């Protein structure tokens, strides 16, 4: 059975098989968690991302973690919030499913997710947490090799929202 956990802190410090990067479609680094991951991993991460060439919204790609404590980085592109009527919940769920599928394909046992799309992309935190928890639970119920999934929250508000969502669903 896969353990689900909520952690408050910096995702770049976690020693897991993969951390998930809330990336942009160009995989070019940016602000928020994306910038923090690129900064901590070193310039090799940007070179690896450039060699991939990009990633459409809702999909995921994998690179080594380079200078990070995690061996891998799974990059996924979340949707920009446009009010919820433009397929945002489906695209966000696809990010989590694609990331877990990639982890499974690579035989990974532990993965940590940030709160995808809730920063500059503007996705409401409570709604994003509900999609994340529901999607991850459904994905790991299908013979998962994952032993641990961590929802890593950078601040206390997000930590509380994810903890409440995890405990209530």
Residues tagged active-site: 34
111/109 Cα distance (integer angstroms): 7
What does DSSP assign to residue 152?
E
Name the burial class of residue 145, with classes exposed (0-12), middle (13-18) and buried (19+) by CB atoms within 10 angstroms of its CB: middle
């Amino acid at each position: 059975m896969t353990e689900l956990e909520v952690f408050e802190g910096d995702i770049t410090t976690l020693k897991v098989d993969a951390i998930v990067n809330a990336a942009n479609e160009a995989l070019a680094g940016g602000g928020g968690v994306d910038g923090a991951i690129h900064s901590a991993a070193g310039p090799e991460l940007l070179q690896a991302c450039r060699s991939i060439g990009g990633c459409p919204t809702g999909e995921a790609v994998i690179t080594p973690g380079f200078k990070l404590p995690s061996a891998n980085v799974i990059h996924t592109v979340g949707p920009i919030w446009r009010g919820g009527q433009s397929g945002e919940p489906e695209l966000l769920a696809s990010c989590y499913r694609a990331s877990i599928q990639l982890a499974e394909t690579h035989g990974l046992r532990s993965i940590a997710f940030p709160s995808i799309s809730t920063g500059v992309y503007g996705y409401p935190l409570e709604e994003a947490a509900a999609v994340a928890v529901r999607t991850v639970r459904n994905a790991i119920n299908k013979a998962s090799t994952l032993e641990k999934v961590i929802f890593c929250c950078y601040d206390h508000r997000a930590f509380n929202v994810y903890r409440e969502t995890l405990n209530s669903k």
